Copies of this chain bind each other. A is one copy, B any other.
Amino acid sequence: MKINAGRHNMQDFTYVNKTEIHFGHDRIQSELRPVLERFGKRVLLTYGGGSIKKNGLYDQVKDLLGGFDIFELSGIAPNPKIDSVREGQKIAKAENVDVILAVGGGSVIDASKVIGSAKFYEGDPWDLVINPSLRKEIDQVPVVDILTLAATGTEMNYGSVISNPETNQKLGTYGPKSPAVSFEDPELTYSVSKWQTAAGAIDIMSHLFEQYFDNAANKDVQDGLKEGIMRADIKWADTALQEPENYDARANLMWASTMALNGIVGLGNENGWTVHPIEHEVSAYYDITHGVGLGILTPRWMQYVLSAETAPKFAQYGRNVWHLTGDDDMTVAKAAIQKTYDWIKSLDVPMTLPEVGIDSDEHFQAMAESAVKVGQLDKHAYVSLQPSDVVKIFEASMTTEGFEA
């Protein structure tokens, strides 16, 4: 186990992000129609399991869109499945839609972005997930979204994560376009459950960790941006759980979700992600909530990769995010990891794999091998991991051993 490739300068980067954000109270009321009209009249409306019908958003959107030709794809599930994309592809082609209006959280928007490409692809859209470079060669229907969950950052980036239950695969794919326009109304997240609010806050934090613990050194601007978003996420997650209708809490979490993963904070990075590829295996095998899985795995990963070599970065995190003091990096680093564990636990989520129903090591080896392969954890992780290392992280996730209560 070693830190990959030493410590380098900020890497060269190219950055552009054309997503237009409309943030604030009920912007859709006056702006949804003119925004959609930029793209056309034939709208594929995508959404999930019906929560938008319960809270009135579905009716509001339908009312606002009188005169548009609306085709619907509903039932897009968490950890969105390739079957939803296939269904969307059929509708998009058959109805020749001009724009996709995605109303929901990460799953709905992720699936919609891939449907946007699939309209212009003749084969099975799973090809576009396995081989994202195919998407560069073809057009992509613009996606307008109304975000209802602060978590994944998909509202302002190029990525999607799609699952294939037949093959136990959960993979990332990237298209040439980020959403054209994203409406972010913090009030639309007032009705998000405590469970999903906590999972979202953990997902945001994990996105920041994945980009923070990186081997390109001295990226202080980007490190500072991430530390600032982390402090805001930590500060407001608890408030959002206690006071679901606190505007400041919901606004900070929503904007944190966007800023954590619109590409900006990871510019100049050298290595790839670690905990997400590992968690994706767990979600693919057991269909658990992504953010909850991250919350279980992250503190164990931190403990496992902590070493004399990584301690200074973990100590920087402790000092700038948790305001820890003290000169000894290893002591501060360990305290920062415990703080991380305590914060996740304070959000009232399961802290071990058995608590989410994973009580045997039956798939550990297969999940570990796949995580290393898909995430290239042996080559491109912050700290190189082999399948045997990932198995140990799974094993450590079976109990609370190693952490203070």
Binary contact track A262-274/B, C-beta < 8 Å → 1, others 0: 0010011000000
Q: Which one of B19, B232, B236, B255 contacts A16 once the chains associate, using CB atoms below 8 Å?
A: B19
Q: Name which of A15, A220, A251, A256 has the most chain B CB atoms within 10 A of its CB.
A: A220
Alpha-carbon gap, A229 to B229, bound state (A): 12
Residues of the B chain whose Cβ atoms lie less than 8 Å from the Cβ of A320: 231
Q: How many residues of A contact B (CB 8 A)?
A: 50
- Given A218-B248, A220-B236, A248-B218, do A225 and B259 touch, yes or no (CB 8 Å)? yes
Binary contact track A13-27/B, C-beta < 8 Å → 1, others 0: 111111111111101
Residues of the B chain whose Cβ atoms lie less than 8 Å from the Cβ of A229: 221, 224-225
A348 to chain B, nearest CB (A): 22
Residues of the B chain whose Cβ atoms lie less than 8 Å from the Cβ of A232: 220-221, 223-224
Alpha-carbon gap, A264 to B19, bound state (A): 13
A28 to chain B, nearest CB (A): 12
Q: Are A248 and B23 closer than 8 Å at their CB atoms?
A: no
Q: Are B16 and A18 closer than 8 Å at their CB atoms?
A: yes
Q: Name which of A232, A267, A323 has the most chain B CB atoms within 10 A of its CB.
A: A232
Counting CB contacts under 8 A, is A131 at the interface?
Answer: no
Residues of the B chain whose Cβ atoms lie less than 8 Å from the Cβ of A279: none
Question: Which of A4-12, A136-144, A354-362 lies at the binding interface?
Answer: A4-12
Counting CB contacts under 8 A, is A304 at the interface?
Answer: no
Counting CB contacts under 8 A, is A81 at the interface?
Answer: no
Q: Are A223 and B218 closer than 8 Å at their CB atoms?
A: no
- Given A236-B220, A248-B218, do A13 and B9 touch, yes or no (CB 8 Å)? no
Q: Which one of B13, B21, B228 contacts A21 once the chains associate, using CB atoms below 8 Å?
A: B13
Alpha-carbon gap, A224 to B224, bound state (A): 8
Counting CB contacts under 8 A, is A227 at the interface?
Answer: yes
Counting CB contacts under 8 A, is A190 at the interface?
Answer: no
Counting CB contacts under 8 A, is A235 at the interface?
Answer: yes
Alpha-carbon gap, A18 to B180, bound state (A): 12
A:229-272 near B, CB below 8 Å: 229-232, 235-236, 247-248, 251-252, 255-256, 259, 264, 267-268
A111 to chain B, nearest CB (A): 24
10 closest residue pairs by CB, A with B: A224-B228, A12-B24, A220-B232, A16-B20, A218-B248, A221-B232, A15-B21, A228-B228, A221-B255, A225-B228
Write 30 A-B pairs (CB below 8 A) sorted by A numbering: A9-B251, A10-B252, A10-B255, A11-B24, A13-B23, A14-B21, A16-B18, A16-B20, A16-B21, A18-B18, A23-B268, A218-B248, A218-B252, A220-B235, A221-B232, A221-B259, A222-B255, A223-B228, A223-B232, A224-B229, A224-B232, A225-B228, A225-B259, A227-B228, A231-B320, A255-B267, A255-B268, A259-B264, A264-B264, A325-B325
